[in-house]
Structure 1
Amino acid sequence: MMTFEGLGIDARLIQATDELGFVNPTPIQEKAIPVLLSGTKDFVGLAQTGTGKTAAFGLPLLQLINVENKFPQALIVCPTRELCMQIVKEIELFKKHIRGVHVVAVYGGASISLQIRDLKRGVQIVVATPGRLIDLIERKAIDLEQIQYVVLDEADEMLNMGFRDDIEFILKNTPKREATWLFSATMPPEVRQVSKRYMKEPVEVTVGQVNTGNENIDHQYYVTSAHNRYETLKRIIDFNPGIYGIVFTRTKLDAQDIAEKLTREGYDIDALHGDLTQAQRDKVMGQFRDKTLQLLIATDVAARGIDVKEISHVINYELPDDVEVYTHRSGRTGRAGNQGICVSIVHARETFKLRQIEKMIKQPFHRLDIPSGKDVCRKQFFYFMDKLLQTDISHGDYETYVPMLQEKFADVTKEEVLKRVAAMEFDRFLKYYDNAGDLNVREPRVREKSFERGGADQGRSRDMRGREYSHGNGDFARLFVNLGTKDGFYKASFLQFILDMSDLKKEALGRIDMKEMNSWVEVDKNVADKMVRSIDGKTFKGRRIRMNDANSRG
């Protein structure tokens, strides 16, 4: 089995990895490090989050830089503050036995004057988020003229977050770089375009298959009705009393709403979304890392860059529109060889999405029944008993109190003491789940017959609750809106736009047909008027939006 010594790593770095307990390199480290140590080859490394990419580029950088030169020689660009800090923390551990190496993190939400001061003291490696780095470049507070190595970490995440122009600006401002190293979990066209434009015949290494799921993750799903989604989430949390994880929502409003509801009901939970200040975000992340919080309720954008290795569960409160996003979400668990669970709460109409994701990640999904109230109480009870038996009583002068306890409970049987302890612990659960209903929905057969012109079932499909309808009739109204692909929308972004504008849930929508100039939206008849009132007459990019019943037009 390969060791770090066999990869050509400096003895001082080997000493640090040994002290950290790293003996054998991970697959991405084994394949990347020998190439990167040459210092002259461009490189593309495709590997899932949590596979050891920081060491894969961090160790070669520490070996290649010249400690005598006190100016930036290596630049690592990553999408978020959290990942920026994590990378610096790991590199600090690796350089423990190399004197004179200075690493500085620059990111938004912190004092730029203090970061400028740190840069002026002399630094060889800069770890930066794109926005703050460009700010420093424009202030002429950082000189990238002597940068030899540029690392783009989580490149797909940065492009998803809209940093393409920033990345290209940074690459244009590092004219003397000898090598560009790009690391990414996926390889969308945007990442491929950047590599072709700014890299010369890069060595490309893929660990596993692009977009495939981590084999340490068990992918599970529950099918319920839309209005029972929140109650199903509570059941999942209660059925896993030791849970430590992230619940992903589509919008920041959902994240805040769910966090507030669960907090009121006594759960150790907080929300992570774009409306938080940096100080609030740091506080929430600090509480999550030290496990004061049991769960984070987060949007995809807010969760980018979170690197916490012991997450047991990822829960998709709703499936993402983009199938690739599922890979990023699920990759938050099952890290560092640990087992993880990714749970999705879906309604019957969404099960086709699971089949798409299965094909992409090449891993099966396991359907589970939503636990009954009795199942939840039983699971909580056994968890409590195990915790009681494992409680450490070796510290503390408990013997002092034993005579008083024996006297106090002299006339009470052991069975009665146990019952009273159980009552104190489980009274809330027993009352809440008394006569709790079944939240499961059985999957209906989806779609029927041919859609060919003239067929008996032409234009028939299923609504979000699995009921059959004819387009524009039955339970759905068909609305016209004068927005289309020419306005910069694609189906997922248009869906999110109309949901945000109308404050409706996705389950209220049926089919969406988009054209260049116009679109047609099928919506539950009960809320169609609300959608029209919310959207018709508003403006988008200076243009008045028109929305009305498509069947009444003309």
Structure 2
Amino acid sequence: MNAFEALGLNEQLVQAISDLGFDTPTPIQEQAIPILLSGTTDFVGLAQTGTGKTAAFGLPLLHLINISERHPQALIVCPTRELCLQITNDLATFTKHTKGLFTEAVYGGASITMQIRNLKRGVHIVVATPGRLIDLIERKAIDLQKVKYVVLDEADEMLNMGFRDDIDFVLKNTINRESIWLFSATMPPEVRAIAKNFMTTPKEITVGKKNSGNVNIDHQFFVVAAQQRYETLKRYIDFNPGMYGIIFTRTKLDAQDIAEKLVREGYEIEALHGDLTQQQRDKVMGRFRQKHLQLLIATDVAARGIDVDGITHVINYELPDDMEVYTHRSGRTARAGKTGICISICHSRESYKIKQLERMVNAIFHKLDVPSGKDVCRKQFFHFMDKLMQADISNGDYETYMADLQEKFADISKEEVLQRVAALEFNHFLKYYENAPDLNSNIRNSDIRGGDRRETGNRESGNRDGSRRERGNFQHDSGYTRLFVNLGTKDGFYKASFLQFILDESNLNKEVLGRIDMKEMNSWVEVDKAAASQMIKSIDGKKHNGRQVRMNEADGGFKRPPAFEGKSDRTEGRKRIPLKEKR
């Protein structure tokens, strides 16, 4: 008996699952499906990507649909076009033996006219991205009055992308729903707020620890000088010739620039970013899924919801500013019970991020030395030898040529033949790496997780009673100036978008920045002393959403910065106190 049948699913769905070769549900499926089959229970499911969440909500949803009523009965909202199409394809696979059930994917970048036409023909399930769904609602092209079940998939990603108002709008327009099913990898306060505002005593299931990472992922990192990131990336790729992975960058300019460099050097790689049309994105993703590309380089926004089987490596060209983004990046590998590696290229001053990530994903991060040039050549050589030994010679008519080959090589030893074969394959590697520098030589000989003495002393301070506590504030670093700015999360920023804003406005390189500490009403930014005046001059006095931006030096290290314009401010461990602008 298939274990899915014991969960209560109908015969047609169980048969489709069996055809796929699955007979044992994953933990999230085993716990969620019996609850969701009731159809009337609000539900929160917390599990990492790659754990089978689509089937966990898709199978009970399909079981509950009344095929005789051809109108939208279920709505699935997800963050990206790729995930929208993936969910739609999975539902189609699950309904292989279910006749007459129609699903429509609605997302930006495709013809809205065609989507409206398909909706008018009648569908049972709508899978949508927030922007296109709201567009259809405002055009009165979709009727949500009879929707019984609303699924929010990758809820934390949608909120990170700024879709909070869109989600609220959608939930307010599904007034006759019987239940909301919310699935998320992490549970930040914003996701908890949705559950509190729109759900009634939801049943919550957590697979693994909240906000923790996939236990099958090996988390690793390098520590290198900022100007050696690209060379470190290239060397790591060369050291892992069989990898199939995704490289994450903060900006689309970095993604495009690195992709162009690697393509010029002969690597099978393409970039995925927001400037691509839907047709271009589909083409890139098609080539990547078919493994015509070894590597995909992408920004976080462009890669939201990518679900590709068999990814062995995720590479963080830079660590994200929003630590929860790391969970989503790393979740692209080690899916469906497989193992994977997530490796990050770090600067020495990012030690605090590694510590934060270790606590967040509840895992040890392993510091590695960047492979030497000789290590790379050796790894490539043995990889080629393994391919040579595994070559299939059973199908070709090689006997026809053996006499000529033997005559050609009669006066050459076997050792010389092997050397010539190796020379054809490896000359370019040997030349490139023969004088390769040691990329580990410029980094302090210290464990980044322990930090150097100066940094540890700054981030931990003794209390008056002699105990030690960690501060959530900045490092005391003589090379940095701490700036105060009257922008915070209430202005619609999260760390990645705030970083992009201040760099775009100041025209500075991101390497001049240290820590960014964001609060609701304002933020503090560490910036190289040499660049501080340029940043203040560029940003102070500018307008953002109709409000004047104030930026100045924060007085006295950890002291409270001056308030402004009657706004309130807050200090660590204190209640928010209204302040008047200093005259």
How big is the shift at 1:2? 8.5
For 1:507, which of 500, 508, 511 is the aligned residue?
511
1:225–1:102 CA distance, 2 compared to 1 (3 A)? same
Gaps in structure 2 of 5+ consecutive residues: 447-451, 464-470, 556-582
1:70 matched residue in structure 2: 70
Partner-residue secondary structure (3-state), 1:351: helix
Amino acid at match of 2:505: M
2:186 is the alignment partner of 1:186: yes
Partners in 2 of 1:375 and 1:54 — Cα distance?
A: 42
Amino acid in structure 1 at the alignment position of 2:528: D
Q: Which residue does 1:497 correspond to in 2?
A: 501
Quote how far apart the aligned CAs of 1:537 are. 7.2
Provide the C-alpha distance between the structure 1 equivalents of 2:520 and 2:40, rounded to a whole number of angstroms.
47
Letter in 2 for 1:172: K
The aligned counterpart of 1:303 is 303
Instruction: Write the distance in 2 (CA, Å) between the matches of 1:543 and 1:220.
Output: 42
1:343-382, aligned counterparts within 5 Å? 343-382=343-382
Whether the 8 Å CA contact 2:322–2:494 is kept in 1: the answer is no
The change in CA–CA distance for 1:291 and 1:196 in structure 2 (over 3 A counts) is same
Q: Is it true that 1:122 corresponds to 2:122 in the alignment?
A: yes
> Identity over aligned residues, as a percent?
71
Tell me what 1:407 maps to: 407
Instruction: Supply the AA of the counterpart residue of 1:93.
Output: T
CA change 1:119–1:216 in 2 (3 A) is same
Give the TM-score taking structure 1 as reference length.
Answer: 0.90
Quote how far apart the aligned CAs of 1:548 are.
7.8
- Mind listing any 5+ residue stretches in structure 1 that lack a counterpart? 454-460
| C-alpha displacement of 1:484 | 6.8
Q: Which residue of 2 aligns with 1:227?
A: 227
Is structure 2 residue 333 aligned with structure 1 residue 333? yes
Residues 478, 104 of structure 1: alpha-carbon distance in 2 compared, 3 angstrom cutoff: closer
2:209 corresponds to: 209
The alignment covers a number of residue pairs equal to 539
Residues 31 and 490 of structure 1: is their aligned pair in 2 closer, same or farther, counting only changes over 3 Å?
Answer: closer
User: Who is 1:243 aligned against?
Assistant: 243
Aligned residue for 2:298, secondary structure, equals: strand
Partner of 1:456: none
| Counterpart position of 1:170 | 170
Q: Give the AA of the match of 1:413.
A: S
User: How has the CA–CA distance of structure 1 residues 385 and 190 changed in structure 2, closer, same or farther, with 3 Å as cutoff?
Assistant: same
Using the TM superposition, give the Cα deviation of residue 117 of structure 1 relative to its aligned residue in structure 2, in angstroms: 2.1
Q: Give 2:375's aligned amino acid.
A: D
Could you tell me which residue of structure 1 aligns to residue 528 of structure 2? 524
AA of the residue aligned to 2:210: V
Query: Structure 1 residues 106-115 or 479-488, which shifts more?
Result: 479-488
Alpha-carbon distance, 1:405 to partner: 2.2
Say if 1:401 and 1:526 are closer, same or farther in 2 by CA, change over 3 A: farther
* TM-score, normalization by structure 2: 0.85
Q: Residue 419 of structure 2 aligns to which amino acid in structure 1?
A: K
The answer on whether the counterparts of 1:2 and 1:25 sit within 8 Å (CA) in structure 2 is no
Measured after TM superposition, the shift of residue 136 of structure 1 is: 1.6
SS at match of 1:191: helix
Residues 162-220 of structure 1 show CA distances to partners (whole Å, capped at 9, x for unaligned) of: 11221122222222211211111111111111112211111111111111111110001
Per the alignment, in what secondary structure is the counterpart of residue 305 of structure 1?
A: coil
Q: CA deviation at 1:59?
A: 1.1
Give the Cα–Cα distance (whole angstroms) in 2 for the partners of residues 371 and 19 of structure 1: 44
- Give yes or no for the alignment of 1:439 onto 2:439: yes
Output the amino acid matched with 2:275: D
Q: How has the CA–CA distance of structure 1 residues 491 and 162 changed in structure 2, closer, same or farther, with 3 Å as cutoff? A: closer
Deviation string, structure 1 residues 120-158 (Cα, Å, up to 9, x no partner): 222111111111112222222222222111111111111
In the TM superposition, what is the alpha-carbon distance from 1:33 to its structure 2 partner?
Answer: 0.7
Rounded to whole Å, the distance in 2 between the matches of 1:248 and 1:274 is 14
Specify the code of the residue in structure 2 equivalent to 1:415.
E
**Bigger CA drift: 492-501 or 22-31?**
492-501
Residue 321 (str. 1) matches residue 324 (str. 2): no
Moved more, 389-398 or 97-106: 389-398
Q: Write the distance in 1 (CA, Å) between the matches of 2:17 and 2:141.
A: 34
2:389 — aligned with what? 389
Q: Work out the CA distance in 2 between the residues paired with 1:408 and 1:119.
A: 69
Aligned 8 A contact 2:2 2:18 in 1: no
The secondary structure found in structure 2 opposite 1:4 is: helix
The CA deviation string for residues 493-526 of structure 1, in whole angstroms up to 9 with x for no partner, is 5443222333433332346688999877553355
Kindly state the Cα deviation for residue 159 of structure 1 after the two structures are TM-superposed: 1.4
User: Aligned partners of 1:548 and 1:249: how far apart in 2?
Assistant: 29
Q: Give 1:8's aligned amino acid.
A: G
Matching residue of 2:59: 59
Contact kept? 1:2, 1:30, Cα under 8 Å: no
Q: Check conservation: 1:252, 1:299, Cα contact below 8 A.
A: yes
Asked if 2 retains the 8 angstrom alpha-carbon contact of 1:4 and 1:14, the reply is yes
